[in-house]
Amino acid sequence: MSKLSEHKRSILLTALIIVVFLTVLASCTFTLDKSDANVPVQESGKGLYITRLNNGLTITVKEVPNLPLVTIQFWTKVGSRNENDQNRGIAHIFEHIWFKGTPTQPVGSFDKRVAASGGYANAMTGQDFTAFYVMIPSENFEEVLALMADLFRNQLFDEKEIAKEKEVILEEQNIVLNDPMMLTDHKFAQLLFKKHPYRHPILGYKDTIKGNMPDAIREFYKTWYVPNNMNLIVVGDVSKERVVKAAQKLLGDIKPKELPETNIPEEPEQKQMRYKVETKKGIENTYAAIGFRICNFRSPDWYAMRVLVQILDGSENSRIQRELVQEKHVVSSSQTFFVPLLDYGAIETLIVVQPKKENEAAQAVLDEFNRFKEEYVSDEELDSAKKQLQAGYALQQEEIAMQGVDIGRWWTAGNFEKQPQYIEDIFKVTKEDIMKAAKKYLTQPTIFMLKPEE
């Protein structure tokens, strides 16, 4: 199976999207304390502790005392979904300038301080969220949280720094346009969604990036970056009492603000196959994206769809890899993305094929999708897929930062209460569930092909 670089993964859309989602905390329990956070923290046993400050800021803590490390993550429910046609990419612009300083933190000082402690800082933007996070030694928790709180409260919006980051983003766009696989993915999303903002790239467009002035970026920030739209997620060697006390001191006096209504257009029903072909100079193979619009993250159907994708193309022994890549050689390489989001979801299979073989390959992939509607998966496939998902989850949970990302994704989707039993619910999926979901969602495919220019 072809593997993309981490940089390309951070841009890839379907990875429309960010390909960091859906590993989940299967074994934890959590307590939601809806009382004010200036009262003593109640013991909630092992797992997550969740509370809210008076201003609406959600605080989520998972104590992991086995290593002297902690991740601090600020999650905001705003992403490319919340942009309009004039400011496409503005959420991602702010991701770039978050660490660019305040009146008391010169540009670059935050990164240097985190690095000096042996840690690192990063950020990411998705369709439904923006997140900023650090990984540091737990002894530096209060100090770094204070610096992050300052970044949250006192952004400079320096015009020179914004201009620099715009150039970085424009270069990221060039990477997408020049990489045939990422370009195929980008074009597929625009074909899959006709009205919903999920059709637009997180990176925006050249004209909207150039046109987003500091005043517009500042207004976007003031609209969405309010405590009642944010979650402070802390995972690691730190107590919930310590986190809540520090958060109350540093963030408790920020006033909440009413969020604007989001008038997201409803995507029309897809009643027939969508198919489009473009050509590109300088490429030797054909790149094709084949997929379907499916259920959102809150739908109970997504568990069955997740297992379906694992059987389809989730391992070296999956159907596409075994039959189309290794045995029949109609596909040179393949990678399938499962993307459940707030409003809709998507399944996308990206393939690389030799010229003149693209129609045969696309039909072969469609045949594999159709098999799920026509015949039950085998007991062996079902059991293997579930165990692979469980093993993959366990591996990713070895990283404290990824535990925080899991928490943030479920919180963003508004499906928080389902998180603790993720693996349990995966193991409940039956072959009947998979066929039912396949018949419901795998109806009219969307296909985009990028061929060599002759």
Q: Tell me if 21 sits within 8 A of 409, measured CB to CB.
A: yes
d(CA 19, CA 10): 7
- Render pLDDT for 104-148 as a digit per residue (tens, 0 to 9): 999 999 999 999 999 999 999 999 999 999 999 999 999 999 999
Say what the pLDDT of residue 330 is. Answer: 96
Instruction: For residue 92, give the amino acid letter.
Output: H
Say what the pLDDT of residue 212 is. Answer: 83
DSSP element (H, E) containing 409: helix 400-413
Say what the pLDDT of residue 421 is. Answer: 86
One-character DSSP codes across 244-299 = HHHHHHHHTTSPP-PPPP--PPPPPP--S-EEEEEEETT--SEEEEEEEEE--TTS
pTM for the complete prediction?
Answer: 0.89
Cross-strand partners of 278: 450
Question: What CATH class is the domain 274-452?
Answer: alpha beta
Say what the pLDDT of residue 42 is. Answer: 38
Q: Where are the domains of the chain?
A: 6-251, 274-452
Q: Which residue has the tokens 């979901």?
A: 437
Which residue in 450, 41, 432, 26 sits closest to 243, CA to CA?
41
Residue 398's alpha-carbon distances to 28, 64, 401, in angstroms, are: 14, 11, 9
Q: Tell me if 169 sits within 8 A of 92, measured CB to CB.
A: yes
**Which tokens sit at 90?**
């503005």
Say what the pLDDT of residue 454 is. Answer: 81
Say what the pLDDT of residue 10 is. Answer: 38
Task: Please list the ranges in the chain whose pLDDT falls under 50.
Answer: 1-46
User: Does domain 6-251 bear CATH number 3.60.20.10?
Assistant: no
d(CA 269, CA 271): 6
Q: Which residue has the tokens 């993307």?
A: 339
**Which tokens sit at 211?**
């046109």
Say what the pLDDT of residue 253 is. Answer: 97
